[in-house]
Structure 1
């Protein structure tokens, strides 16, 4: 579950900063869903981020 098969979005590392400005590392993961889609006429299960799903970049297999 590393990255989106459509746009390539993956985990990023950011700095979490507290009120006293102490800095610690934090991971932000994309919202990935395992979806059955039609690719080249055949049905496959791939990881797709919700942004690509909402934008209609994939055709769900019904």
Structure 2
């Protein structure tokens, strides 16, 4: 199993709250590095769980 597949499998086990926390952490880290985040905090609330999983997996 590749690392990408392992990450996807782990993300499938996470709750909505876990996924939102990770997404918010990524957004904060991008801002810390002086970059404009790809999505904003309010976008996280409007995304489905699967959309969040895909977005997080791209950064994994």
Structure number with the bigger relative contact order (C-alpha 8 A, sep ≥ 6) is 2
Higher radius of gyration, 1 or 2: 1
Taking structure 1 as the reference length, what is the TM-score of the superposition? 0.22
Q: Which has the higher strand share?
A: 1
Taking structure 2 as the reference length, what is the TM-score of the superposition? 0.22
